[in-house]
Structure 1
């Protein structure tokens, strides 16, 4: 029986650093899914029941993380961007336009720019263009939440989402590898 070398052993395939970063991002987002409703409960109680729906996308982030772990590099990297877009749009329509969920599209833009290699530049640029067009087309045009949310709670929810999008952007910038500049 042939044994597969473990990572770090001689002859073992090296992990793709971009897929690893995409997988780590997916795992952070998956782990945040059950916690987000707790934040909402404390900051915007009237939106709590709606926020429970946001956990429905957790399995998709776990699938991206799994793909990154088994070496399906391109699928994990592409999946991270696509799941991020779909998740953001779904939650924006659930929580309503005033929730500022579309701010997470900026993190998706970053992912579309960072998850791909130079040989995949047109895939990256295409995704960036799609995300930009989605933002421009939807900003200010998404209706209200699926259930009534008080005005004060919506303001708190918007603050929570803007802060969350900024935190995710910071995590992405800290986690994704930077190419070394030749001397």
Structure 2
């Protein structure tokens, strides 16, 4: 699970410089704002480093927390209509898949907190920090929902499954 959390962190870190290129192509008026999304790249690299350093629980917990912080920061930068909060569903999956049975209450607490956070913020985040054209915002929303779905698929493919008892 630590390896999967580290791999997820590395994929997200490597995506940070690429995301603005997607935005430039699909939603040009949001390009300058999208450059700010790269600011969280060092946090994902720190999680990846933790996973490689044998600090498993810290890496797994860090992956969930960094994912939440990153999602909230980008939602505030790009605005509520950007559908960035969809990435909280990937955070829910990480919270549910990243912990052992002995850590079930940590996992459940994180899942509950992420769910409450989503419900509290959905539809309540204001406009982006800079104006974004209406068509570009629709493209940005599509990009973010698609990106969240792709991340969820990666998580489901990367995280280990429990062995079936004989």
TM class by shorter-chain length? over 0.9
Is 1:61 aligned to residue 44 of structure 2? yes
Name 1:166's counterpart in structure 2: 149
Name 1:94's counterpart in structure 2: 77
Name 1:134's counterpart in structure 2: 117
Q: Give the distance between the partners of 1:133 and 1:179, measured in 2 at CA.
A: 28
Q: Give the distance between the partners of 2:69 and 2:107, measured in 1 at CA.
A: 17
Q: CA deviation at 1:25?
A: 0.1
Name 1:124's counterpart in structure 2: 107
Q: Give the distance between the partners of 2:157 and 2:81, measured in 1 at CA.
A: 29
Q: Give the distance between the partners of 2:53 and 2:105, measured in 1 at CA.
A: 25
Which runs of structure 2 are paired with 1:41-120 in the superposition (5 Å)?
41-120=24-103
Q: CA deviation at 1:150?
A: 0.2
| Post-superposition CA distance 1:38-91 (Å, at most 9, x none) | 000000000000000000000000000000001000000000000000000000
Name 2:18's counterpart in structure 1: 35
Q: Tell me, which stretches of 5 or more residues in structure 1 are unaligned?
A: 1-17
Q: CA deviation at 1:116?
A: 0.3
What is the SS of the residue equivalent to 2:132? coil
Query: How many corresponding residue pairs?
Result: 166
Q: CA deviation at 1:112?
A: 0.2
| Post-superposition CA distance 1:116-168 (Å, at most 9, x none) | 00000000000001100000000000001000000000000000000000000
Root mean square deviation, CA, Å: 0.3
Q: Which runs of 4+ in 1 moved over 4 A?
A: none
Q: Tell me, which stretches of 5 or more residues in structure 2 are unaligned?
A: none
